[in-house]
Amino acid sequence: MIETYHRLLPHGITLSCRAAGEPGRPVLMFLHGFPEAAFVWDFHLAYFARPENGGYRCIAPNLRGFERSSAPPDVSAYRPKHLVQDIAALIALETQAQGGQLAALVAHDWGGAVAWNLANQLPELAQKLVIINSPHPGTFLRELQQNPAQQAASAYMNFLIRPDAEELLAQDDYRRLWEFLTHGKDGFKAPAWLTDAVKAQYMDIWQAGLRGGCNLYRASPLRPASAQDPAAAAVSIPMELLTITLPALVIWAMDDIALPPGLIDGLDIYVKQLTLHTVPNTSHWIVHEQPQRIADLIDSFLRQ
């Protein structure tokens, strides 16, 4: 049974959350990406709440700007430090029975960007980290600066920072967003996982508003350079802001057209306790495509 609720954080932001499992149990927290929301984790919330799979309290918040979470109007409110503050505050509220520490933080896509930063800045808030197709900022910056293939693969980011991006995404019954979910090929052809029920969940999220999701891209310089903006070409990140000391499982779908496998090359430079598992013939939407495979990999990692 998935429950929903709203959590008011001490700094005034409210996050809408989905959860399963008994309160007071060790907590797994799941962070979503764009153009998604917390509902994408429902399979895993239910799975890990079961006693035979650990009996965890499983929580998936909607990031600020998504679903019914607070949506500040200013682009600056979507800088990574603010999203990290949100999740750190939520962890503190949800893990009081565990001394303020998650059993693990699990994240995909933009959720991973938040998780990488939190693991660097506040490693005491989690015992373990699981990242699914979300580039580490060190390898992402390298590829954006040096690899034309990654620059081309990330070109969509400069579309999403346009002032009219939300309006364009909503056109033609959200045609561009459906194409994101179908790899942008041959118009809209629903994959098997995109059932009518799941499509309805996506529509509900998109109709609630797209500005927060687009603001994530506007607030970050990690995107390809353009004639108007040096973007990643002007960025330098010191090593101390890139190092991850937590035990980390990175799961990488190898057919991700936006985040190709070059992003996992050299990952062990930054992640000191790395377990890397690649999944062939699977796209960026691996959480939908192979939910049981993801669950098995996470379960094995948690038991180590």
Q: What class, spelled out in words, does domain 3-303 have in CATH? A: alpha beta
Per residue in 247-281, is it b (16+ CB within 10 Å) or e — as a string? bbbbbbbeebebbbebbbeebeebbeebbeeebee
Amino acid, res. 259: L
pLDDT tens digits for range 166-189 = 999 999 999 999 999 986 544 556
Decide if 143 contacts 157 (C-beta within 8 A). no
The β-bridge partners of 29 are 59, 105
Which positions of the chain have pLDDT values less than 70? 183-189
Tell me the average pLDDT of the chain: 96
| The predicted structure's pLDDT at residue 246 | 98
How many C-alpha atoms does 245 have within 13 Å on its Cβ side?
9
| The predicted structure's pLDDT at residue 186 | 46
**Structure token pair of residue 291:** 């939910």
- In angstroms, the CA 284 to CA 261 distance is 11
Residues 6+ apart with CB under 8 A from 210: 35, 165, 166, 169, 170
CA distances in angstroms from 223 to 118, 141, 161, 234, 253, listed in the order given? 20, 8, 10, 11, 21
Amino acid, res. 30: F
- The full set of domain ranges for the chain reads 3-303
Whether this model's pTM surpasses 0.95: yes
Residue 14: count other Cβ atoms within 10 Å of its Cβ. Answer: 16
- In angstroms, the CA 105 to CA 193 distance is 25
Residue 102: count other Cβ atoms within 10 Å of its Cβ. Answer: 24
- In angstroms, the CA 196 to CA 179 distance is 16
| The predicted structure's pLDDT at residue 189 | 66
| The predicted structure's pLDDT at residue 35 | 97
- In angstroms, the CA 59 to CA 244 distance is 23
pLDDT tens digits for range 58-108 = 999 999 999 999 999 999 999 999 999 999 999 999 999 999 999 999 999
**Structure token pair of residue 300:** 């094995």
CA distances in angstroms from 18 to 45, 83, 183, 253, listed in the order given? 8, 18, 27, 25
Q: Is 104 left (phi over 0), alpha (psi -120 to 50) or beta?
A: beta
| The predicted structure's pLDDT at residue 301 | 98
| The predicted structure's pLDDT at residue 92 | 98
The β-bridge partners of 277 are 251
